Chains A and B, each alone.
Chain A
Amino acid sequence: MSIVTDLLAKPGVIAAGEYAYRGDRFSYRGELSENHARVASIMCRATTMSVNMEASMLEALQPLSGLLPPRGWLVHGPGYTVCVVANVFCLLDNRKGSINDLVGFMCQALAAIPSDMI
């Protein structure tokens, strides 16, 4: 099974997808329209690239800081949380799912993904 299929089986996950780091394609499943999923993948990719740039800058200031390479990021809203690890994103309904479980699963499942963003 793909990671997207695994994520959709998790409690509270309403949509999940993957994007190419170079930005030319994405795929998704769940409760989003194609256009909204495209917007989500673009925003997630932009933030991922940004935090990687920031981590590189911090690494230049403080070598072996422990931030680089970043694994992902979360945006926690009052109703939903956006979880991104590597090039995989998902939307979680806060009332129905566990952020700790989701982050733990994603970090473990994607631990072997190369960090060169290709």
Chain B
Amino acid sequence: MTTLDDLMKLPGAMAAFEFRGSGEMLEHRIAYPDRINESTLDLLAHMCAANLSIATMQARGWEKVTGMEGFYPIQEFTLIGFDWSVVVSGLQREQYKQAGKFSLPPFMGVVLANESADYEAAFGLLERKEPVP
């Protein structure tokens, strides 16, 4: 399973964090405390939880309205800020749900400096499939 330390190895990684669906932050790592602190990450986790939920609702509705497939379930939501971006995913939870597990892993997120952000690498790491224990 992808860990916060794996996410911190991505190019330009400034911070990584885990959070509940309610937005409550659990574990975190911070590479540059002068640029991203725990208080910022805490609000960011709540923002990302809200945005993932809204995006999921929109993807569900969009597929029903248009008949197009390939939008749901949301794999990642990314917010591109002025200096940095945050990428969040709950995809590993889907794997646990499909395996019939009731105890689900947390959502995960990583903050990347825009000048070196590799979104596809972040998606690849967050979508990595591993056997559900």
Contacts and interface: CB of A to CB of B under 8 A. Distances in A.
B70 A103 contact: no
Contacts of A74: 76-78, 80, 119
Contacts of A99: 119-120, 123
A58 B47 contact: yes
B10 interface: no
Interface in B36-62: 36-37, 39-40, 43-44, 47, 50-51, 54-55, 58-59, 62
Contact of A36 (B37, B66, B70, B71): B66
Residue from A40, A54, A65, A80 whose CB has the most chain B CB atoms within 10 Å:
A65
B74 A76 contact: yes
B37 A62 contact: yes
B84 interface: yes
A47 interface: yes
Interface residues of A, number: 37
Contacts of B84: 66-67
Contacts of B76: 74-76
A71 interface: yes
B82 interface: yes
Which secondary structure dominates chain A's binding surface? mixed
Contact of A79 (B47, B65, B69, B78): B69
A54 B80 CA distance: 12
B40 A58 contact: yes
A50 B50 CA distance: 10
Interface in A98-112: 98-100, 103, 107
B82 A69 contact: yes
B79 A36 contact: no
A11 interface: no
Contacts of A43: 58, 62
A80 B66 CA distance: 14
A90 to B, nearest CB: 14
Contacts of A113: none
22 contacts: A36-B65, A39-B65, A47-B51, A47-B55, A55-B79, A57-B43, A62-B37, A65-B40, A66-B84, A68-B81, A70-B80, A74-B80, A75-B58, A75-B59, A76-B75, A78-B75, A79-B69, A79-B70, A79-B71, A80-B70, A82-B71, A85-B80
